[in-house]
Structure 1
Amino acid sequence: MSIVVQKYGGTSVATVEKIKYVARRLIERKKEGTDVVVVVSAMGKTTDKLINMAKEISNNPCRRELDMLLSTGEQVSISLLSMALKEYGYDSVSLTGSQAGIKTRGYHLKARIADIKIENIKKHLKEGKIVVVAGFQGVNEAGDITTLGRGGSDTTAVALAAKLNCPCEIYTDVDGVYSVDPRVYSKARKLKNISYEEMLEMASLGAGIMETRAMEIGKKYNVPIYIAKSEGNIEGTYIKELSEEMEEKVITGLTVSDDDLMVTINNIPYNIQNISGIFEELAKKDINIDMISQTAAVDGFVNVSFTAPKLEKDIITKIIEKIKKRLKGIEVKMETDITKISVIGLGMRNQSGVAARIFKIFADHNIEFKQVTTSEIRISYTINTKDKQKAILVIANEFNL
């Protein structure tokens, strides 16, 4: 019998009625003769509520205990969904990340899946059960519960599909992947297909549809992924391997993120050890650095800029203070009112001139950019947030997004 892994996000299981609706959907799939493993997130805004409760106790709660707290949200969802399935007459079992064999490594709140021991899941499937797995969590080598960070349920689902060698279906509150987030550009087109590479770039650049690590796993193990709305039968988007028609359009999508800040460090004595030391300090605290730029040396000094998540502002500030003690005379500027805007498309591999067109657009509309970075299929800019909507509109019009 074939297997499918389905994942339902927090909005899809936000109420008991929605949980019952998901249960009926799972039963319909089971009736088609498919074994079903379902991954669910915590109900609605449960995770946010738990974080707020923790912050009422401590401004800096212990990460181990925070993982212990946050993991309870998914456990509520899986138990209720399993109860609903049983009530409808279908055998089911709920499994925490540990019970599902999800082994993790790394920091609390940011753990990564190291392996999944799927024997327990296979045993329950063989017994004819619908297996309900808690997303977002696992257990580390010390036996502690760990969580996978925001969007971690996507990662759980795709990783399970990779281990079970089956498709993965992600059901959420949106009906597919769009060329631009429809909330910021109402004329955006829904994409029928998108390549792993393009979706991975979009995920890493702020598109909230899929989590980056989930896409990395999907691409590595060639997991067929389908994204669609959890309610109704509107066709969604397929994430798949590259095909010829995908390369015909120069730009597939545009992403926008207000989640980063930009740090500029001026007057650094030019020495590779000084530059290395800055990023080593950031790496020690697991700060995810994205865009990096450095000026040419002038009179023995350079300036370095980088972007990082705004959520890490307090940690970055402490790191900068430590660096200042070592590198006397540096000047540091931290900007939070910035937006990262990126264009993504496999067509850029074969068609030149995209950067020139965007520079021209920015010049014609007086949009200042602070940084630019590129990859084979992506160009990213940091701009002032006040220019965000104007930039989205003119780029989307230029590339027919």
Structure 2
Amino acid sequence: MRVVKKFGGSSVATTEKIKNIAKDIAKNYKHGDEVVIVVSAMGKTTDELIKLAKEISKTPDVRELDSLLSIGEQQSISLLSMALKEEGCKAISLTGAQAGIKTGGVHTKNKIESIKADRIENHLQNGEIVIVAGFQGVNENGDITTLGRGGSDTSAVALAAALKCECEIYTDVTGIYGVDPRVYVNAKKLDKISYEEMMEMANLGAGVMETRAVEIGKKYGVRIYVGQTLGVETGTYICDNSEIIEKKAVTGISINKNVIMVNLENFSAIPKNVATIFNNLAEHSINVDMISQNEVENVKGSIGFTCPLTDEHFLNNSLKDIKKHIPEIELTKRTGVIKISLVGIGMISNFGVAAKVFEVLSDIDAQFYQCTTSEISISLIIKESDAVKVVERLAQVFSI
């Protein structure tokens, strides 16, 4: 059997943990499996490297920052290779570039364009375990690049696609839950979740998996297993919708605290003004999320939208510019809010989901400020102080 296994930063945070992982991988090796390992940097190494860079410069050169950040994964792969050799295994560590991972885009946020897996295949044929540095690759100029936060997941799934095998993601959680157990203690672990549902939940704020990794899995048909490092419990498979027999109306609830809501009122909401607003937000690199607009015909209108709270500084600058272009506009910001999103591919065939959601809000007297929907999701902006009681009640109603 051939498999790609990925271990996150918390799983390789200490040399003792690395030794324990090596002992476990050695069992696969001695069983005759072909194993490729992808690892992240140890613990908080990436954060520490970023901190060092910012002690030198408030705005570090991104090419040099990529070169610096890649050190973390290279440390992990070398130590794990040494540990595997101590267990009597043949092993070799490869950087992203050595593993044939070609990337494109801007530094610190590159995307994988292709993988030439010949060297990995040769090492596997030679009976070696191959340990690949996650989160990194090389661009057309031969420069080291990184893939952004969560990039090691993307590296692992992309390698599994290139090597035509399954991918196992190991972390400090026992699997994927319908709702964050820290918010709802009776949350149920999912045996399976579809690619579409996992992508939607990741996009809407669930932090278990990186969206790009799931996209690659769906595109190339890579089954992704998410489970606890060295854990005994069975984890969760991210797979094709056809594998899921019971399609619940709601599979999961994602919770996103990184939200600020903006209302723009008392202006003519003609297409020209709306274009001015959103072009300006884009120029200030604001990642706009939920958008709502009332129906207007040559009258004063209003638009509401949300964006990450972490973008507030850039948002303030953008709103000042918008006011200059549209002087009559009234701008208000609402913080202390949270986005709750219900996700389920079963919504396509189950009626009355929205009705139940609003019934819950009514029963517990929880106000909502904005609502948007997609084919498989319903998202609400509510008061952060109402989050726990709303999530708990929704989880109970939909048996999540």
CA distance in 2, matches of 1:28, 1:290: 46
Give deviations 1:261-292, integer Å, cap 9, x for gaps: 22333344333233233333444555433211
Deviation, structure 1 residue 368: 1.2
Deviates most, 24-33 or 187-196: 24-33
Q: 2:355 is matched with which residue?
A: 356
Q: 2:89 is matched with which residue?
A: 90
CA distance in 1, matches of 2:140, 2:267: 41
CA distance in 2, matches of 1:336, 1:64: 35
Give deviations 1:350-376, integer Å, cap 9, x for gaps: 111111111111122121111111111
Alignment of 1:90-109 (within 5 A): 90-109=89-108
Q: Where does the alignment leave 5 or more consecutive residues of structure 1 unmatched?
A: none
Alpha-carbon spacing, 1:396–1:375, altered in 2? closer, same or farther (3 Å): same
Deviates most, 255-264 or 375-384: 255-264
Q: Is the 8 A contact 1:247 1:346 kept in 2?
A: no
Provide the TM-score with structure 2 as the length reference: 0.94
Alignment of 1:44-83 (within 5 A): 44-83=43-82
Q: 1:172 is matched with which residue?
A: 171
Find the residue that maps to 1:367 and give its secondary structure: coil
Q: 1:131 is matched with which residue?
A: 130
* Matched AA of 1:139: V
Give deviations 1:321-360, integer Å, cap 9, x for gaps: 3333323232333333221111111221111111111111
Q: 1:15 is matched with which residue?
A: 14
Q: 1:224 is matched with which residue?
A: 223
Deviates most, 13-22 or 84-93: 84-93
Alpha-carbon spacing, 1:285–1:7, altered in 2? closer, same or farther (3 Å): farther
Alignment of 1:198-209 (within 5 A): 198-209=197-208
CA distance in 1, matches of 2:130, 2:150: 20
* Matched AA of 2:342: V
Deviates most, 373-382 or 111-120: 111-120
Q: Where does the alignment leave 5 or more consecutive residues of structure 2 unmatched?
A: none
CA distance in 2, matches of 1:245, 1:148: 31
CA distance in 2, matches of 1:355, 1:246: 23
Cα RMSD for the two superposed structures:
1.9
* Matched AA of 1:162: A
* Matched AA of 2:58: N
Deviates most, 257-266 or 181-190: 257-266
Q: 1:195 is matched with which residue?
A: 194
Q: 2:149 is matched with which residue?
A: 150
Q: Is the 8 A contact 1:175 1:236 kept in 2?
A: yes
Find the residue that maps to 1:306 and give its secondary structure: strand
Find the residue that maps to 2:96 and give its secondary structure: coil
CA distance in 2, matches of 1:227, 1:364: 36
* Matched AA of 2:155: T
Give deviations 1:151-180, integer Å, cap 9, x for gaps: 111111111111111100001101111111
Provide the TM-score with structure 1 as the length reference: 0.94
CA distance in 2, matches of 1:352, 1:252: 15
Q: Percent identity among equivalent residues?
A: 54
* Matched AA of 2:99: A
CA distance in 2, matches of 1:172, 1:156: 15
* Matched AA of 1:253: G
